[in-house]
Chains A and B, each alone.
Chain A
């Protein structure tokens, strides 16, 4: 079976697809999160050293992974947007940014709540925490630039360029922060969990990560739909689609 993927680079044909996929992945995310939280809160054993406080990793770890991964995906869409000048790629990048920022903020927030009982401080200048904080700033910078430029097509390309510059910098920032940290205070605090993780714990994290993936896809596609509606308002296909849905 051959699918013509180029067909979906047009907002007209992508809009209905985004709607149905958003719905599908939304349900999937709810189911996976339910299963994952059951494993996390009921099935998984209590950690020998950290007690029940460790259970926040089932939110924390997927959020931290998604924060980094979404930036990568956003930079990929931005490269498409600049290279091929496709409108939809830029809309995807725009739709991913708020979710990425939320995931970074969630990772920092849950990390603080995990840190307090386990190593006695809400915040330490650990390399990973610091680089996640800077990642959050990069997301917020892209969102702010988007809102500061009136013309949406110009904003598309400016944000795409900024995302690419940021993507080159993210590994440099990460390694510089890591090096700075080891030079300054040594690794007195280890963020790594017990070296041998129980199988159910790993399973819980994997299921929750899958849930975070599905959530991200669902939310992003829903957001792309609103962006399309906002930008294409007045377009004939959109008006007829809205009338069709209203009549139903």
Chain B
């Protein structure tokens, strides 16, 4: 509630950047107030990654082969699990409606929210990944590429996921419906992200994969906030 008051108070400077940073700061602050929830999400990533060697084989060859795919798939699942947080609580206590009513441009506010979601859920995964990658017998170059590919790729996951999260607001079926909507859209990110690490392991340059991921990120950055605001308006209707 305090946040919506803040939004209303500072609407004289109705610039796009101002709106974005306002939403970003507010959401990060709200997220940091429930640190244990953030910790649990990161732990989920760690545990899922830990399960795969137990299910397949502890041999270094096998681990290095499946490693990039496992780390990326787990990042997808961790992102998916954190998506309901993005809008659900704001939707239920009416904050989202206040945000939509504010004179600030809604796409800018949505970009801020999505950025905050990535900072609190995507970034920890990116920082944790090289450590977990070492468990999968990946060497220095591959670990570096893994970090870079996740750094470019996880924002796309937050962006695409935000569309699904906004569309399923107030819908029955919750989490599993969100998975059905969002995971097919994640496929290209998974392919290029894990592909980049595989390319380095095969001794080829990963720049093609990373460039495509970067292109995807730019496209999503431009288009997604508008789609999300449209979806939020549909949900609030």
Binding site for B on A (CB under 8 A): 82, 134, 137-138, 140-141, 144-145, 148-150, 153-154, 157-158, 161-162, 164-166, 168-169, 172-173, 176-177, 179-180, 183
Going nearest first, the 6 A-B pairs with the smallest beta carbon separation are A176-B188, A148-B171, A137-B184, A148-B173, A180-B191, A141-B181
Taking CB atoms, residues of chain B closer than 8 Å to A148 are 168, 171-173, 177
- Stretch of B74-82, B99-107, B227-235 with 4 or more beta carbons under 8 angstroms from chain A: B227-235
B167 in complex: contacting residue of A82, A158, A168, A176, CB < 8 Å: A158
A180 x B168 contact (CB < 8 A): no
Nearest chain A residue, comparing its CB with the CB of B174: A148
Interface residues of B in 161-188 (CB under 8 A from A): 163, 167-168, 170-173, 177, 180-181, 183-185, 187-188
Interface pair B163/A145, CB less than 8 Å apart: no
Is A145's CB under 8 angstroms from B181's CB? Answer: yes
A137-B184, A145-B171, A154-B237 given; 8 more Cβ-contact pairs under 8 Å: A137-B180, A140-B180, A144-B181, A145-B167, A154-B234, A162-B167, A169-B188, A183-B195
Alpha-carbon gap, A162 to B182, bound state (A):
10
List 23 A-B residue pairs with CB atoms under 8 Å apart, sorted by A's residue number.
Answer: A134-B184, A137-B180, A144-B177, A144-B180, A145-B171, A145-B177, A148-B177, A149-B172, A154-B234, A154-B235, A157-B237, A158-B234, A161-B230, A162-B163, A162-B181, A166-B184, A166-B185, A172-B216, A173-B184, A176-B187, A176-B191, A176-B212, A177-B187
Contact with A along B213-229 (1 / 0, CB 8 A): 00010000001000100
Shortest distance from the beta carbon of A61 to any chain B beta carbon, whole Å: 24
Bound-complex Cα distance A50 to B56 (A) = 38
Across-interface contacts of B230 in A (CB, < 8 A): 82, 161
Using a CB–CB distance below 8 Å, which chain B residues touch chain A? 163, 167-168, 170-173, 177, 180-181, 183-185, 187-188, 191-192, 195, 198-199, 212, 216, 223, 227, 230-231, 234-235, 237
Smallest CB separation, A175 vs chain B (Å) = 8
Q: Is the pair A179, B191 in contact by a Cβ cutoff of 8 Å?
A: yes
Nearest residue (CB) in A for B173 is A148
**Given A134-B187, A148-B168, do A165 and B234 touch, yes or no (CB 8 Å)?**
no
Contact (A161, B234) CB under 8 Å given A144-B173, A145-B168, A145-B177: yes
A82 contacts across to B, CB distance below 8 A:
230
Residues of A within 8 A of B191 (CB): 176-177, 179-180
Asked if B227 and A161 make an inter-chain contact with CB atoms under 8 angstroms apart, the answer reads yes
Query: How far, in angstroms, from A157 to B231 measured CA to CA in the complex?
Result: 8
User: Is the beta-carbon distance between B171 and A180 smaller than 8 angstroms?
Assistant: no
B195 with A180: CB separation less than 8 A: yes
B189 smallest CB distance to A (angstroms): 9
Q: How far is the CB of A53 from chain B (nearest CB, A)?
A: 31
The chain B residue sitting closest to A172, CB to CB, is B188
Q: In the complex, A190 Cα to B198 Cα: how many Å?
A: 24
Contact A141/B187 with A148-B177, A161-B227, A165-B163 known, Cβ cut-off 8 Å = no
CB < 8 Å neighbour of B187 from A149, A157, A173: A173
User: When the two chains form the complex, which single residue of A137, A153, A161 contacts B231, counting CB atoms closer than 8 Å?
Assistant: A161
- How long is the Cα–Cα vector from A50 to B191 in the complex, in angstroms? 33
Q: State whether A176 touches B184 (Cβ < 8 A).
A: no
Q: Which residues of A contact B198 (CB under 8 A)?
A: 183
Smallest CB-CB separation from A157: which chain B residue? Answer: B234
**Chain B residues, Cβ within 8 Å of A173:** 184, 187-188
| A169 contacts B185, C-beta separation under 8 Å | yes
List chain B residues, Cβ under 8 A from A161: 163, 167, 227, 230-231, 234
Closest chain-A Cβ to B175's Cβ sits at a distance in Å of 12
A157: chain B residues within 8 A (beta carbon): 234, 237
Q: Determine the chain B residues whose CB is within 8 A of the CB of A179 once the complex forms.
A: 191, 195
Cβ of A153: which chain B residues have Cβ within 8 Å of it? 237
Q: How far is the CB of B9 from chain A (nearest CB, A)?
A: 32
Residues of the B chain whose Cβ atoms lie less than 8 Å from the Cβ of A149: 170-172
Note all chain A residues with C-beta closer than 8 A to B195: 179-180, 183
Complex-state Cα separation, A78 to B70, whole angstroms: 36
User: Is the CB–CB distance between A165 and B185 below 8 Å?
Assistant: yes
